């Protein structure tokens, strides 16, 4: 079963009051995230009144995986993305190093896609941006942070969550 481009939505168990848009990591799918978000309420990860939107990345060749086609929000040339250059006085990560390891156009496209999902959810929540949260795991965390930095809305989002970002 192909999950490419598939978006899963877990409806809020109670009255829909907020939404989390969550992007998965490299070589994963929205379906793989279900186990984390399927329990809602006091014993779950999300409140019972929160809807969770989980898209699946398209399959594309990933350079760091010898060109293997896998679900990926953006191409990664080499892992780790932010290798540290150690100096005597501090650790530094250079911007050129990061940009040389990530396909920036792909990352921008994924961040714009996430922001389009934000707009869709805001419309369902009486135009209240504070009720929409964005996040992700691994590659998805990188997309969420990029989307947050690109966000130029008049009103603040509810928050951003990055887990184990690359």
CATH number at residue 158: 3.40.50.1820
Identify the helix (H) or strand (E) that includes residue 133.
strand 132-137
pTM of the model: 0.84
Tally the domains of the chain: 1
Regarding predicted confidence, which is higher, 101 or 164?
164
Mean pLDDT along residues 56-78: 91
DSSP assignment, residue 125? T
The answer to whether residue 154 scores a pLDDT higher than 60 is yes
Contact in structure between 139 and 74 (CB atoms under 8 Å): yes
Does residue 110 fall inside a structural domain? yes
- Cβ pair 53, 7 in contact under 8 A: yes
Range of the domain at 21: 7-59+104-163
Residues in the chain: 166
pLDDT digits (tens, 9 = 90+) for 89-136: 444 444 444 455 778 899 999 999 999 999 999 999 999 999 999 999
Which of 32-36, 59-63, 100-104, 154-158 bottoms out in mean pLDDT, i.e. has the lowest?
A: 100-104
Domain annotation covers residue 112:
yes
In a domain, 85, yes or no: no
Between 42 and 70, the more confident residue is 70
Give the residue carrying structure tokens 């156009």: 105
């Amino acid at each position: 079963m192909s999950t490419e481009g598939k978006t899963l939505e877990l409806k809020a168990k109670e009255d829909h009051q907020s939404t989390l848009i969550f992007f998965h990591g490299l070589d994963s799918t929205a379906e793989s995230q279900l186990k984390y978000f399927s329990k809602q309420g006091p014993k779950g990860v999300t409140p019972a009144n929160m809807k969770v939107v989980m898209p699946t990345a398209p399959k594309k060749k990933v350079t760091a995986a010898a060109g293997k086609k896998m679900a990926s929000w953006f191409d990664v040339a080499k892992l780790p993305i932010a290798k540290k250059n150690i100096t005597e006085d501090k650790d530094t990560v250079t911007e050129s190093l990061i940009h040389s390891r990530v396909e920036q156009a792909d990352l921008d496209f994924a961040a714009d896609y996430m922001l389009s999902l934000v707009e869709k959810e805001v419309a369902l929540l009486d135009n209240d941006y504070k009720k929409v949260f964005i996040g992700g795991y691994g590659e998805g965390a990188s997309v969420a942070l990029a989307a947050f930095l690109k966000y130029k809305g008049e009103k603040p989002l509810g928050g951003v969550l990055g887990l184990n970002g690359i």
